[in-house]
Amino acid sequence: MSDEALIPVPGLRLSEQVIERIAHLVEAGEVSRNGRFPSERMLEARWRVSRLVIREGFRALEMQGVVESRPGGGRFLRMDRVPDLARLRRARLETGRVPLLRLWEAREGVESQTAALAALRATPAQQEAIARPLRLTVALSPEALRHTDVNAEFHLAIARACGNPVLEELVADLVSRSQAEGFRHLVEAEDWSALQSGHRPILDAIVAHDPEAARRSMAQHFAALRHSLDRGDASG
């Protein structure tokens, strides 16, 4: 079933088909037995494609952390990453963008947690790093704010202060994806400065070492954002 020759399909590169086949090897249990893949030359003969194609496929999977290559040794399945395989195959298909609303919903959950943890753990220096973008917020004009990163920096500073690398990574990811969606253009200017003022209670709660107040403030901040998005959708 996974031994037939690979034939070129318009719009689908051979290396993509190879990834599919590799995933199939795993799901069929042919690999998990010992965790070692057949060699490049083996698969080359088996699927009737050149080594280049095989290698490109494996390289992509290696970048995702699913496969590990040992020169001279072979290629191995990283058992702790097997669940990622299914997600990976889906990811290739759904290149689609995600609505800003969904990103904000996610950030409400993640960043309520970072705010609460930051309230528990932020050092004075980290508190200052959170406060600085807030000072810039009040110093700059609402119009100027639309073109800066003070908003993102505020959220990132909190994430860095929460003492959890996982959460820090998640926030960095979600923030950059939010920016990619170009949310600056979706929120009205007056709303914008008002939302910035929503940052203030968050900072206060963090400085006061009050985790629950920080969590609540952050959640309210995103709730306000969602409302402004609703109005923006309705008006425009």
Assigned token pair, 109: 């959950």
Q: Does 179 bind DNA (CB under 7 A)?
A: no
Tell me which residues in 23-82 interact with DNA (CB under 7 A). Answer: 37, 39-42, 48-53, 55-56, 58, 69-75
For 173, half-sphere exposure in the C-beta direction (CA atoms, 13 angstrom radius) is 9
Q: Which is nearer to DNA, 51 or 135 (CB)?
A: 51
Q: Which is nearer to DNA, 31 or 187 (CB)?
A: 31
Distance CA 119, CA 196 (A): 19
Show Cβ contacts of residue 192 under 8 Å, excluding neighbours closer than 6 positions: 142, 145, 146
Distance CA 227, CA 219 (A): 13
Q: Which is nearer to DNA, 69 or 193 (CB)?
A: 69
Distance CA 227, CA 191 (A): 10
Distance CA 35, CA 30 (A): 9
What, of DNA, a copy of itself, none, does residue 164 touch, CB below 5 to 8 Å by kind?
Answer: a copy of itself
Residues binding DNA (CB under 7 A): 8, 13-15, 37, 39-42, 48-53, 55-56, 58, 69-75
Residues binding a copy of itself (CB under 8 A): 15, 19, 52, 55-56, 59-60, 62-65, 80-84, 86-87, 90-92, 94-95, 97-98, 102-103, 105-106, 108-114, 117, 164-167, 169-170, 172-177, 179-180
